[in-house]
Structure 1
Amino acid sequence: MLTTKTMSAELLKTPRHVEGEILSIKDVSRGFDKTQEELLVLDGVNLTLHEGEIVGMLGRSGSGKSTLLRIIAGLIEPTSGAVSYLGKPVDGPADGIAMVFQTFALFPWLTVLQNVEAGLEALGVGAQKRRERALAAIDLIGLDGFENAYPRELSGGMRQRVGFARALVVDPTLLLMDEPFSALDVLTAENLRTDLLDLWTQGKMPIKSVMIVTHNIEEAVFMCDRIVVLSSNPGRVIAEIEVPFAHPRNRLDPAFRRLVDEIYAKMTARQSDEATRKGIELGSPLPQVSTNLMAGLIETLAAAPYDGRADMPEIARTLQLEVDDLFPVAEVLQLLAFADVREGDIFLTPPARVFAELDTQERKMMFADHLLRHVPLAARIKKVLNERPGHRAPRVRFEQELEDFLSDSGAKETLDAVINWGRYGEIFSYNDKTELFSLEDVES
């Protein structure tokens, strides 16, 4: 008679006799029409995955990481280029590719066992076999004893384990993971990462290759054998980095820290001064970064022990920020000439050091001056309001201008960012009900 542990080995380690290349991505682009041009999300991406490796995809928002993952999974089609899995074109959801999402995406009315069985039921697996394989997956992922629990009874980490069990139960060759740990607290995420790596290194899972999308650079270095770095707007492969460390890995090892620093440097490589100044004119939306976050980072960097300069991996760990949290703040401070980012380090400029010592009203005046000098959209709104007799202008005027070179969502995001910064600097007012800009705060 099979024990549950034996079932895990027998039912979830079906040999696939796969050798060499698992996945091939050739010149994949993905875009959408905007007026007479196509705005690209991905542009000419080339990538291969081989048996026995975990590959991480790093990139900021707008790099198309999740879009690429869905193209690989067969959920959406590329505009051009080709994806092949085990030598065959991917033209829809492929047998042997499973995905774990950032959100748990469980059926709340089903138990753990029923949630894990759902995929097998859709594949037409018989009830007895379905139950055996689901129980084996539940045991393997560490949820034995919770088979009859409902999602509402589980912690976030346990719900994500259900997601992993549901992916593993279909016996995949390739496992795709879209930021699977980002919704979890730090300790839970670390525990789940370690457990997953233990199963991988001990050969207890059926998968032959893993691709993980992440915003967390340390997570990528901790888990992956190779890291692909994507640029943003559009997403292009700008670096492929081999991770030479054996598992288990020590985050405090100097070589580990150096590699993290190297990746930060690649991802913060500064554009030309002209490109930084133009910002949205390059077709990239401005991130919505609050002035509180900007001021908080300036104050932190101005104080000891940083004294105006910090290693970005170190400041990220100290403030518990990930790439998509820290980079936008640093980027906007650089755009506003309050900071400089070079080779993975962030430096405060002399004006930022002054800013840190000012009171609230003086800060607002200084911020307004930098906003008008360094963000063309803010200066344009101010100029239009000054020139109009009633000193008012509709939001749609500026949004339509932005939509000539940004997506609808990008135009909205950019304008919302500048509205918030302009309000803080008191260079103009905006009424959300009437969608009107004005030089004075008016109700209608």
Structure 2
Amino acid sequence: MTVAMETIRSLRAVTPQNTIIEAQHVGQRFTADNGTELTVFDNISFNLYEGEIVAILGRSGAGKSTFLRALAGLVKPTSGTVKYRGEALTGPNPGIALVFQTFALMPWLTVQDNVELGLKARGVPRAERTKLALDAIDMIGLDGFESAYPKELSGGMRQRVGIARALVLRPDALFMDEPFSALDVLTAENLRQEVLKLWSSEQRSIKSVLMVTHNIEEAVEMADRVVVLGSHPGHLIADVRVDLPRPRDRHSVEFEAMVDRLYAILTGQASQPTQQAEALSPSASLTNAPVTDASVTDASDLQPAKTIEKIKEHPLPNATPGGLAGLLDVVAEHPHGIDLADLASALSFEVDDLFPLVDAGTMLRVIVVRDGHVQITEAGDSWHKADILRAKQVFASLAMEHAPLVHNIEHALRKSAEGKLRGELMLDLLRARYANDEAHQQFAIAVEWGRYGELFDYDADDDLLSLDEANKGE
């Protein structure tokens, strides 16, 4: 099939008349151990059509994998409906097969036995399933390894077995949950190309592919359509058509423009005018309301209840001061700024590695991001050029001004009788909004920032927060 024919086939195939999966206003909530209700994703409507590869792209916390499992019928949504071929799902989706990130092979079974698992579960006779399995193994390039065990295979070969196990079922849709993220760069690229070759083959049996990824270049390379999810909770923010002809050249102007467009979408909040950044920043988890009680004895004294209700949806960015300083080192080398795609390439970072640093940088006003382009600010340049001691002072000032959680801890310590607080008090406040693990993460980030800026310290053995000696006289 020629490139032109392939492009035409994909465009013509996507019509409401050949919908495979339809999700309407789907949401997923869970209740944490402490009774807090967590919304993983909310109000997502999505259709998967025959003849297309769709990538679900988003940051960590967007609920990508959980959404994929809801479409697969492996988890039941708490709101909305999922239909397969017009029928509402009441259990596992009969029209899909799933390829996992971690291969999910049975170590005690051979390659052939692993590929036959699904067929055996469906009651396919031995002779038939043997033929189908061998054909699938041959198709994926593993002929000769039928009797090998997973421990004898490389990571790329194990994932090939996972793909063969899915293909042998001849599903309507092949679901892939970050299938290449556990592989080295070269193996991942080779396997992407193999999947695309299988997709373009006249003999292919699957009608559509739906894959979860956090790799923007991977999404542009493989997909006909990219669905972008925002985070905390997951929600649909864009559905982008990728009409680039195949095979796609990663170095072409059109490819790079599409990558830049997706980066801009994923950093849409950070590209807002500077004066709006605090309201939009993921770090704006607590307000700057002053602590009025001089003797802090419990979480209700630390912050009034009405303030807790104003806690933002997004957690503090999981970035260290050292990592942020390193980011500034790179950005400062480009006086006119650098595209996020080029920055990620320069650092060899994935989305989930880069964006927390970008979020932290925009929150502290040391960088500004607009339309996928990042540039250092005057404050960032001051921090970047400062010596070690001065850099700590600059960071402390920025954190106190722009990081409300750090500000509130420091302020509460000043208002307390002895300049000390139990860490558990702050955790109680955070647990009112976050799950236990997230609350601990928020607390740990605040402590690391406070320590670096010599604002306050934390003794984990005694669970005591205290003002830093260098900060007591200020």
TM-score, normalised on structure 1?
0.90
| Counterpart check, 1:21 vs 2:19 | yes
| Counterpart check, 1:211 vs 2:215 | no
Map of 2:414 onto structure 1: 386
Amino acid at match of 2:165: R
Distance, in Å, in 1 between the alignment partners of 2:227 and 2:87 is 23
Distance, in Å, in 1 between the alignment partners of 2:170 and 2:413 is 62
Residue-by-residue CA offset, 1:89-127 (whole Å, 9 max, x unaligned): 112112221111111222222222222122222222232
Residue-by-residue CA offset, 1:32-87 (whole Å, 9 max, x unaligned): 34789854221111111111001111111121111110101111111111000111
The aligned runs of 1:292-311 (5 Å cut-off) are 292-303=322-333, 306-307=334-335, 309-311=337-339
The aligned runs of 1:263-342 (5 Å cut-off) are 263-270=262-269, 272-276=276-280, 279-280=284-285, 281-303=311-333, 306-307=334-335, 309-342=337-370
Measured after TM superposition, the shift of residue 389 of structure 1 is 2.9
Distance, in Å, in 2 between the alignment partners of 1:77 and 1:145 is 40
Map of 1:413 onto structure 2: 441
Partner of 2:437, secondary structure, is: helix
Of 274-283 and 292-301, more deviation after overlay is shown by: 274-283
Amino acid at match of 1:102: Q
Distance, in Å, in 2 between the alignment partners of 1:166 and 1:396 is 48
Amino acid at match of 1:301: V
Residue-by-residue CA offset, 1:341-390 (whole Å, 9 max, x unaligned): 11001111112112222222222222122111111111111122222233
Map of 2:399 onto structure 1: 371
CA contact (8 A) 2:455 2:468 kept: no
The aligned runs of 1:254-265 (5 Å cut-off) are 254-265=253-264
Residues 265 and 339 from structure 1, CA distance in 2 versus in 1: closer, same or farther, beyond 3 angstroms?
A: same
Unaligned 5+ segments in structure 2 are: 1-15, 286-310, 470-474
| Counterpart check, 1:81 vs 2:80 | yes
The aligned runs of 1:234-253 (5 Å cut-off) are 234-253=233-252
Of 309-318 and 355-364, more deviation after overlay is shown by: 355-364
Of 356-365 and 257-266, more deviation after overlay is shown by: 356-365
CA contact (8 A) 2:365 2:377 kept: yes
Map of 1:362 onto structure 2: 390
Return the match for 1:396 from 399, 407, 424.
424
Amino acid at match of 1:426: E
How big is the alpha-carbon RMSD for the aligned residues of Structure 1 and Structure 2? 2.0
Partner of 1:279, secondary structure, is: coil
Measured after TM superposition, the shift of residue 128 of structure 1 is 2.3
Distance, in Å, in 2 between the alignment partners of 1:323 and 1:108 is 32
Partner of 1:286, secondary structure, is: coil
Residues 435 and 167 from structure 1, CA distance in 2 versus in 1: closer, same or farther, beyond 3 angstroms?
A: farther
Partner of 2:324, secondary structure, is: helix
Map of 2:143 onto structure 1: 144
Distance, in Å, in 2 between the alignment partners of 1:232 and 1:21 is 27
Partner of 2:250, secondary structure, is: coil
The aligned runs of 1:181-220 (5 Å cut-off) are 181-220=180-219
CA contact (8 A) 1:284 1:410 kept: no
CA contact (8 A) 2:98 2:175 kept: yes
Residue-by-residue CA offset, 1:144-168 (whole Å, 9 max, x unaligned): 1122222222211111111111111
Distance, in Å, in 2 between the alignment partners of 1:71 and 1:144 is 34
Partner of 1:420, secondary structure, is: helix
Partner of 1:282, secondary structure, is: coil
CA contact (8 A) 1:43 1:234 kept: yes
| Counterpart check, 1:430 vs 2:449 | no
Residues 390 and 83 from structure 1, CA distance in 2 versus in 1: closer, same or farther, beyond 3 angstroms?
A: same
Distance, in Å, in 2 between the alignment partners of 1:158 and 1:37 is 42
Residues 98 and 425 from structure 1, CA distance in 2 versus in 1: closer, same or farther, beyond 3 angstroms?
A: same
Instruction: Report the number of matched residues.
Output: 422
Measured after TM superposition, the shift of residue 308 of structure 1 is 5.7
CA contact (8 A) 1:308 1:353 kept: no
Residue-by-residue CA offset, 1:205-253 (whole Å, 9 max, x unaligned): 3211111111111111111111111111122211111111122111112
Amino acid at match of 1:208: K
TM-score, normalised on structure 2?
0.85
Measured after TM superposition, the shift of residue 181 of structure 1 is 0.8
Partner of 2:206, secondary structure, is: coil
Amino acid at match of 1:92: G
Amino acid at match of 2:158: R
Residues 359 and 177 from structure 1, CA distance in 2 versus in 1: closer, same or farther, beyond 3 angstroms?
A: same
Partner of 1:77, secondary structure, is: coil
The aligned runs of 1:5-44 (5 Å cut-off) are 20-33=18-31, 38-44=37-43
Partner of 2:40, secondary structure, is: strand
Unaligned 5+ segments in structure 1 are: 1-17
